Structure 1
Amino acid sequence: MFELKNILKIFLVFTFLLIVNVQFCFALNLSDAFKANDGTDTDPLDAAAKSAGYNIQQTTTIEDTIASVINTILSFLGVIFLLLIMYGGYTWMMARGNEQEVEKAKNTIKTATIGLVVIVGAYAFSWFILQNLGESTLQK
């Protein structure tokens, strides 16, 4: 069934991938690399920012959290749109002249395009609302 050469090639590829992927399991985060033993930050960029008078504390507001959640959901919906377009194109190519399959593919592409318009509209609406909400809270 399989020749010894093919089995050896597959074994070598999987061994290489295993060795390369194991290296990432033991990698340190950049923030861990700059931590001292006493838990204080020793990052030179943080020290420079502090001496320049910048506040380096990461604070997020509720508006930032909402914007992040909305952007994540809309990005995920964009990926679904791309997959639906690819599925519609594949269905159309594999229809081989069958009118029902071609019509199904056209409807899939048309529905996905309408969905994309709705997604872009929702993104524009949420961006507008969050921008105005952020400005009004800053002015008070």
Structure 2
Amino acid sequence: MNSLSKKIISFLTLSLFFLLLTSGSAQAQFMLKEFAGNAGYPTGESANLTSVTQTVINAVLSLVGIIFLGFALYSGIRWMSAHGNEENVTKAKDTLQAAIIGMVVVSIAYAVTTLVFKLVPVGT
């Protein structure tokens, strides 16, 4: 097989692969509003200040939770690589404790936010 044939086959294979990926994402949009509505998520039909605020707060809390999870993983790695050095083990324990406290605070904030947005009536 010559070089041109290899390039054409490679191009067609990659094109087919990427086209198959896009068809999956197109199918994901099918009946999305119905499933989101059944699950209790906003369907995008009405974008009022309350729903936008709730979405922003949930996104920020999720990001902060991910950061605290990263700190927990970092402290675990630091603890495992301390090799018996008590100073490094103590620092890792303190970081892990702070990360766990942070995750608990974020979880409580998420629960309170969800409760408040469920109890407060939405204006039209």
**TM-score (ref. length: structure 2):** 0.64
| Deviation of the 1:57 alpha carbon | 7.6
| Deviation of the 1:73 alpha carbon | 0.9
Contact 1:63 1:134 (C-alpha < 8 Å) held by counterparts: no
| Deviation of the 1:115 alpha carbon | 0.5
Which runs of 5 or more structure 2 residues have no equivalent in the other structure? 1-9, 32-42
Does structure 1 residue 23 correspond to structure 2 residue 18?
yes
Say which one has the larger Rg: 1
2:111 to 107, 124, 130: 124
* 2:67 aligned partner: 80
| Deviation of the 1:134 alpha carbon | 2.7
Which runs of 5 or more structure 1 residues have no equivalent in the other structure? 1-14, 32-42, 46-55
- Runs of 4 or more, structure 1, over 6 Å off, are none
Contact 2:69 2:103 (C-alpha < 8 Å) held by counterparts: no
2:88 to 68, 82, 101: 101
Q: Deviations over 1:35-65 (max 9, x none)?
A: xxxxxxxx9x7xxxxxxxxxx9822221111
Contact 1:88 1:105 (C-alpha < 8 Å) held by counterparts: yes
CA RMSD of aligned residues (A): 3.3
C-alpha distance in 2, partners of 1:102/1:86? 14
**TM-score (ref. length: structure 1):** 0.57
Q: How many residues align?
A: 99
Contact 2:79 2:88 (C-alpha < 8 Å) held by counterparts: yes
Matches within 5 A, 1:1-140: 19=14, 23=18, 27=22, 30=26, 58-134=45-121, 137=123
